[in-house]
Amino acid sequence: MTRKLNLLLATGLTSLMLLSPAFAENMLRVSYPEDPKSADAQMTTDFYTLPLNIFDRLVESETTGPGQSALVPGLAERWDVSDDGLTYTFHLRKDVKFHNGAVLTADDVVYTFDRMLNPATKALNTDILTFIAGAEERLDGKADSVSGLKALDDQTVQITLTKPYAAFLALLAAPGASIYNRAFTEAAGDQFGLTPETTNGTGPFILRDYTLNDSEMLEANDDYWRGRPKLDRLLIRVVSDPDTLRMLFESDEIDVFDMDFAPTQTPYFYGADQWKDHIVSGPRVGIYYYNINQLKKPFDDPRVRKAFQMSIDRQTILDKNFYGKGKLEDGVMPRGLRCYAPAEPIAYDPVKAKELLTEAGYPDGVEINLQQVSSWSSRWSDMNQIIQAQVAEAGFKAKIITTDEAAYLAARKAGDSDAYTQVWSADFNDPDNFFYTFFSETGSKTRGYNNNDPEVFAAIEKARGMTDPAERCKLYQDLTARIVDTDAAWVPLFSLDHSFVVQPRVKHFIVPWNGWSDMSYYNVEVE
């Protein structure tokens, strides 16, 4: 009965707040294109707004400038790394309280990571923790605990890795590594994160109302260890229709208009006198690329690959398909990523490309296949049509092949896919997230590159364990030249900007370092 009454009150409260502008004064109203489905960060790989505002992590990735970030202490006030790079000791902050009043201890951290690796949880984010000793055994159900996770005392957690991994700290700053309270989470079971009553974190906001497919209401945590947030409330509304979203924004029912949710509105907002000065934009740490499969003739010849790189007019695609809001990329790392340095520019030169094709034995041009997936958005097929026309000038007779997603993934996994275009956004701020995914021995095969360069494979493995940051970055920059320039293993296209339009009353709104739609609203204020 009490629960029902609470629910009724909460719903009534939400309705009242939405209806009355007086209540809306210190509330930020944002939108999401679909229901985030859970606040539990272990159960999602892409809806992170709730976890980023309700929970904290041991280490946080703080946005320090457009596309720039730094790893800063979170729930751990400091940490030590052993000389061999295998043991991480985290010293937790004292007196950090969960929303239910429980005090954070080292046991909570051990519990959280063990829960993620426990097969009964069916977690989706386990990749973050597979470097921990004993993680694989736990995932496979061969162990009841994770040997590499230890609470030395109430305030100290020790994590041991199977091998040194330089990006481990960056991984711990990912939203998936949010820290939960043992007693509460165990009691909530599989309901954790699904309702306000079964959600509990240490973060700046407390989940107060969750109406599936409608909205989530968060309230400021008065006892937050970094100080109370400036906002009293944060309302996240689920709005799936882009035109409705724009009307909501223009009728002042939403404070932030995320152009990612309605890209076709980009020219309108950039052209509207009322709004163009209220656009906040930042780089997205993600790279659009064209895959080249070296097992598919004629791409076995580096000259053909080079010719393919040079025959695509990337600036035109960026201008025509993405309203020019982005920057050309020439390497493997997009701007904003740790270790990023501008790479040797790839020139658009169809004449030179034609010469290279002739040199490679294709004076009359050569047939190639470009693959796309029927269920993907039209963005990809539009790009393929432009590219098909562009590369024809150099002599590539490109045929566009459309398959379903299952066929594409199966072919890719077997290393047998045709060339395709896609985008990769950083999960965490480390070059390993890009190099390992595409050009390591496993990545190169399963993503359909087959760039079987043993030196590249060895260097990527080596970089994972390197402890000197400067030396490590240098290695990644050298690898970029080798992969893109010498091997011509892929075609980097561009990275995009992520633009938001905000109501004039919103202050301190910045695009997070990774350019995501998901962000912490801790520093945002409304007037």
Instruction: Residue 202: name the closest of 117, 112, 124 by CA.
Output: 112
- What is the C-alpha separation between 245 and 212, in angstroms, rounded? 18
Query: Least distance (Å) from other proteins to the CB of residue 147?
Result: 19
Tell the smallest beta-carbon distance from residue 127 to other proteins (Å): 5
Dihedral (Cα; 320, 326, 328, 330), 10-degree rounding? -140
Smaller CB distance to other proteins: residue 70 or 247?
Answer: 247
- Taking the least distance from each CB to other proteins, the nearer of 385 and 446 is 446
Which lies closer to other proteins via its Cβ, residue 424 or residue 457? 424
Q: Which is nearer to other proteins, 123 or 370 (CB)?
A: 123
Secondary structure of 139-183 as H, E, C letters: HCCCCCCCCCEEEEECCEEEEEECCCCCCHHHHHCCHHHCCCCHH
1 vs 120, beta carbon nearer other proteins: 120
Shortest spacing between CB 212 and other proteins, in angstroms: 6
CB of 329 to other proteins, least distance (A): 17
- What tokens were used for 472? 């490590």
For CA atoms 427, 428, 429, 435, the dihedral sign is: negative
Q: By C-beta, is 105 or 185 nearer to other proteins?
A: 185
> 483 with 332: CB under 8 angstroms?
yes
CB 185 within 8 A of CB 111: yes
Q: Could you list the residues that contact other proteins (CB under 8 A)?
A: 14-15, 18-19, 34-35, 37-38, 43-46, 119, 122, 124, 126-127, 139, 190, 194, 211-214, 237-241, 243-244, 247-248, 250-251, 253, 375, 404-407, 409, 413, 422-424, 427, 446
Q: Is the peptide bond before 363 cis (omega within 30 degrees of 0)?
A: no
Query: With respect to other proteins, which residue has the nearer C-beta, 385 or 422?
Result: 422
Q: How far is the CB of 402 from other proteins (least distance, A)?
A: 12
Q: How far is the CB of 125 from other proteins (least distance, A)?
A: 8
Contact 11, 209 (CB under 8 A): yes
Using CB atoms within 10 A of its CB, is residue 321 exposed (0-12), middle (13-18) or buried (19+)? middle
CB of 196 to other proteins, least distance (A): 14
Binning the chain into helix, strand and coil, the percentages to the nearest 5 are 35, 25, 40
DSSP state of 232: S
